[in-house]
A = this chain, B = another copy of it.
Amino acid sequence: LDRGDTERLRDLLGALHPADIADLMGFLSADDREELLPHLDPEALAEILSELDTEIREEILEHVPSATLAKALGEMESDDAADVVDDLEADKRAQVLAAMPDVERAAIENTLAYEDETAGRLMQREVVAAPQFWTVGQTIDHLRRESDELPELFFDVYVVDPAYKPVGAAPVSHLLRSRRETPLAQIMEQVTEIPVDMDQEEVAYIFDKYHLISAPVVEPGGRLVGQITVDDIVGVIQEETEEDILALAGVSDAGRDAGFLGIVKSRLPWLLVNLVTEAVAVTVIGPFQPMIAKIVVLVMLIPIVSSLGGNAGTQALTVAVRAIATKELNAANAMRVIMRELAVGLLNGGAVGLMLGGALYLWQHDWKLSLVVFLAIIANLFVAALGGILAPIVLERFGRDPAVSSSVVVTFMTDFFGFLALLGIAALILL
């Protein structure tokens, strides 16, 4: 298919949605991708670029001539264009920016001036604004006149005061259904302003909570500088929960598609940290070695205690991390949640301890040993609950991301105190 029939190829590409072409790109070899590129017009290229995975995008960007790229960027919304430019290498970036019209270049440079993962980076500068005193009719006439200058899609017309501060938003569906003579001030709704330096996680939270479709972004003075639409937010939510999931599993943020060495780099550090903390935890076993050499069945109980504690801790930890992320766990209810977790730990510890102690009695017929196990597991699951709920709360209070480092703390706590509880109680009761 890739050899020869250019005409047909162009037709085929034209019929596909840009997101599907981007998917297709992922299946092609690098050479085939390179051959495909010249067949895409700047407009199609623009849409495909915003859809591609970072790895493939970077490779493609190297092969697109600066002039074509400059044209494609002109077709994109300012936030997507800035993302692409951000990926370019320094000299290519200079070339591409030089080939763009002044206004578009300025827009991209301004966007890049905001910090990563803030509202400023997320927003598009293209907005539709109208003065307060306009009527629906005047607004529609204005939109028809300026049709070419408008963003491709928009959901709200922001109503602004003379200082260009947003005072309300008229949803386009309200504009359509109202009579021409209705003043905008009458159909507009309250807006939730997003400060330009707000963190994107916070922005996503606000969108979700108030079910927003779009929201105006304002400078510190209150001036309207752009808008964020909900389709950008879907991406942010995916990204942020994804980060949490991977962080909880001890995979640092290097992209999933980062290639072999990237993957090693994203996982090895955590394994080494785990090695060190675990090595410290097992030192607890040292002094008990003579006892273990005598009562060798304890060896088989050590991994069980460690595994149960680890799992119970992960359960409490994960729920706490998510509750913090969705703001369901906060200073107001922290005490209640902590007490509840500890109670759950004790009850689950009792249940599991009874099971294991009972099973052990059937096997070894040693009620003292069963009692040791029963008590050790209750103690261990209590520590797991304590660590699982406290670690994320404390890390959060110190401004750290609770998803990233909580697991280390909790695994260490459950192993250290789990071994200590098992062997310590064994030493007291059995010796």
Contact = CB atoms under 8 A, between A and B. Distances in A.
Q: How many copies does the complex hold?
A: 2
Interface string A306-335: 111011101101110011001010001000
A237 B380 CA distance: 35
A429 interface: no
B251 A318 contact: yes
Interface residues of A, number: 105
Contacts of A311: 250, 270-271, 274, 411
A260 B302 contact: no
A388 to B, nearest CB: 10
Contact of A257 (B211, B304, B315, B328): B328
Contact of A256 (B270, B300, B319, B419): B319
A198 interface: no
Main secondary structure of the interface of A (DSSP, over half): helix
A144, A190, A213, A311 — most chain B CB neighbours (10 Å)? A311
B176 A318 contact: no
16 contacts: A155-B155, A212-B231, A213-B231, A241-B242, A245-B322, A246-B319, A246-B322, A249-B319, A250-B311, A267-B315, A275-B308, A278-B303, A285-B299, A289-B297, A293-B293, A307-B411
Given A260-B340, A264-B348, 11 more contacts: A144-B179, A146-B177, A150-B173, A153-B173, A251-B315, A251-B318, A267-B312, A274-B311, A278-B303, A289-B299, A302-B302
